[in-house]
């Protein structure tokens, strides 16, 4: 076992952006209105959400702009911003949404590439229980957002998933939620094996890469099921659990999104 390495993914935003543009430009009118697993959101709504998060990042992080918005708690704050942006974008044509993505997605990729991954991020990664996070972790979290929402569109319209290149770092980011998920749980070691993507261990509340010796519980997941599980999709995870099944329960309820 070893301590997990930083996840350096800033270089992946540009190709992921290109994939999104190609996807959106390929959609038929009916596909823009197709339902997705993202609650009541259609494909167009998910595309609008991706645009909004891009514009917010550039405005609030790159440009240092602080909007005057009501703030009660983080989930309600984020949900409120998401809902209002999607509602506004319903006035826009798909062509305008695509044009805005084409302009600002490139800027976002360039901005992330310009950041020092070792600096302290502007915001902590809340689902990992961090009030303060290194920049590389915040950037990796942002990649998981842009990737998994694009996957929701791809699923909705029957396009092939983007697993090669992206799935491994996305899952490596998601599993950083394990220590926070198990912060009030005793027992272990716990081993998580995501087939073909990686093996991690939680030992005394600390996350490691690799398999712990003599684990109390080992959970094995397929990569396709794992990312869906950690982004709150209601699925049968198809997990194979060896050892104490009770220790697996928090993992099988873990989320790595706000």
Give the pLDDT score at 67. 81
Cα–Cα distance measured from residue 198 to residue 242, given in angstroms and rounded to the nearest whole number: 17
Q: 202 forms bridges with which residues in the sheet?
A: 190, 207
Q: Hey, what are 143's tokens? A: 């990649």
Q: Hey, what are 191's tokens? A: 């081993």
Would you kindly state where each structural domain of the chain is located, as residue ranges? 10-162, 174-253
Which residues does the chain have with pLDDT short of 50? none
What is the pairing mode between strands 217-221 and 190-194? parallel
Report the CATH superfamily, name and number, of domain 10-162. Answer: dinb family like domain (1.20.120.450)
User: Please, are residues 218 and 212 in contact by the beta-carbon 8 Å criterion?
Assistant: no
User: Please, are residues 205 and 183 in contact by the beta-carbon 8 Å criterion?
Assistant: yes
**CATH T-level assignment (fold) for domain 174-253:** Nonspecific Lipid-transfer Protein; Chain A (3.30.1050)
User: Please, are residues 190 and 182 in contact by the beta-carbon 8 Å criterion?
Assistant: yes
- In tens, the pLDDT along 153-180 reads 999 999 999 999 999 999 999 999 999 9
Q: 220 forms bridges with which residues in the sheet?
A: 193, 240
């Amino acid at each position: 076992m070893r301590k997990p390495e930083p996840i350096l993914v800033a270089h992946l935003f540009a190709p992921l952006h290109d994939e999104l543009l190609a996807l959106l430009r390929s959609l038929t009118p009916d596909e823009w209105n197709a339902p997705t697993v993202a609650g009541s959101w259609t494909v167009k709504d998910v595309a609008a959400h991706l645009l909004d998060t891009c514009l917010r990042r550039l405005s609030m992080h790159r440009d240092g702009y602080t909007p005057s918005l009501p703030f009660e708690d983080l989930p309600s704050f984020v949900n409120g911003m998401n809902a209002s942006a999607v509602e506004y974008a319903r006035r826009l044509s798909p062509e305008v949404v695509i044009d805005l993505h084409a302009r600002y997605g490139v800027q976002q990729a360039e901005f992330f590439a310009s950041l020092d991954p070792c600096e302290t991020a502007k915001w902590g990664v809340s689902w990992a229980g961090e009030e303060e996070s290194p920049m590389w972790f915040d950037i990796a979290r942002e990649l998981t957002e842009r990737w998994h929402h694009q996957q929701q569109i791809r699923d909705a319209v029957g396009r092939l998933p983007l697993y090669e290149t992206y799935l491994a770092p996305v899952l490596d980011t998601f599993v950083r939620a394990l220590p926070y998920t198990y912060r009030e749980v005793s027992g272990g070691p716990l081993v998580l094996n995501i087939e073909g993507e990686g093996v991690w261990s939680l030992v005394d509340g600390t996350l490691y890469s690799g398999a712990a010796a003599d684990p109390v519980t080992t959970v094995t997941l397929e990569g396709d099921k794992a990312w869906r599980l950690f982004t709150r999709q209601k699925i049968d995870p198809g997990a194979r659990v060896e050892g104490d099944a009770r220790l697996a329960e928090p993992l099988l309820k873990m989320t790595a999104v706000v």
